[in-house]
Amino acid sequence: MSILSPELLSLEFMNKPLVKPLEGNESPEIAELVKFFNETLGFCPNSVLTMQIRPDIATSFIRLNKAVMANHGRVTSALKRMIGYISSNAAGCRYCQAHTIRAAERYGAENEQLENIWEFRTHSAFSEAERAALEFANAASIIPNCVDESVKENLHKYWDDGEIVEMLGVISLFGYLNRWNDSMGTPIEDGAVDSGEKYLAEKGWNTGKHR
């Protein structure tokens, strides 16, 4: 199974977002929850500002995000963001690619891993356990789904059931975000652009429709 390369994703369908994000946090409850993203990314994502047009969607999403990304042990915060990156790369969402690579950096992923994320199967910066997790993320994010017996067996060599549930939570969360942001054409924030250009541009990443 190959990883979808950003340079193959050159089609652009919109010059403006489907729906314009709100200017700021409209609800005190949401404003409190959004502090999570200030730690993760350094800013509130425009995707969340769009969800706030229907506040229940925003609050439910943020709570799910916090639950999925909680650190319970060996599936580290950095690995979860790298899983999110591989999942978003397979789905072709440039917005989420930049967000996840930025968050992985902020949560302590090694620079060598960030610079060689496409070569996770062979690069020495990745352990066998990390390779199994990232292969799972890629297989689970392809349509049609490619999680098979081989992926399953390799995953269980290194990870227990609870850890696999955590990983699939991340993959599924980004399945939602990839659909949301690519369909919405969510405008990408300056900080995310900086991270995308730093780690991904050499492989063909650009903002695409997310201007």
pLDDT per residue as tens digits for the range 91-147: 999 999 999 999 999 999 999 999 999 999 999 999 999 999 999 999 999 999 999
Mean pLDDT of the chain: 92
Maximum distance among all Cα pairs of the chain, rounded to whole angstroms: 47
Q: Name the pLDDT band for 12 (thresholds 50, 70, 90).
A: low
With a cut of 60, say whether residue 2 has pLDDT above it.
Answer: no
Residues 29 and 110 in one domain: no
Q: Name the pLDDT band for 10 (thresholds 50, 70, 90).
A: very low
pLDDT > 70 in the chain, percent: 93
Q: Name the pLDDT band for 26 (thresholds 50, 70, 90).
A: low
Residues 58 and 138 in one domain: no
**Nearest Cα to 59, choosing from 39, 80, 36, 38?**
36
123 is a domain residue: yes
Contact present, 53 and 85 (Cβ < 8 Å): no
Residues 35 and 64 in one domain: yes
Q: Which two tokens stand for residue 9?
A: 């994703």
3-state helix vs strand vs coil in the chain, percent to 5: 65, 0, 35
199 is a domain residue: yes
How many domains would you assign to the chain?
Answer: 2
1 is a domain residue: no
**CATH number for the domain that contains residue 206:** 1.20.1290.10
116 is a domain residue: yes
* Domain housing 28: 22-70
With a cut of 50, say whether residue 184 has pLDDT above it.
Answer: yes
With a cut of 60, say whether residue 7 has pLDDT above it.
Answer: no
H-run or E-run covering 16: none
Contact present, 188 and 182 (Cβ < 8 Å): no
Question: What is the rounded CA–CA span in Å between residue 175 and residue 100?
Answer: 13
Question: What is the rounded CA–CA span in Å between residue 131 and residue 123?
Answer: 9
Residues 48 and 90 in one domain: no
14 is a domain residue: no
pTM of this structure: 0.92
With a cut of 50, say whether residue 211 has pLDDT above it.
Answer: yes
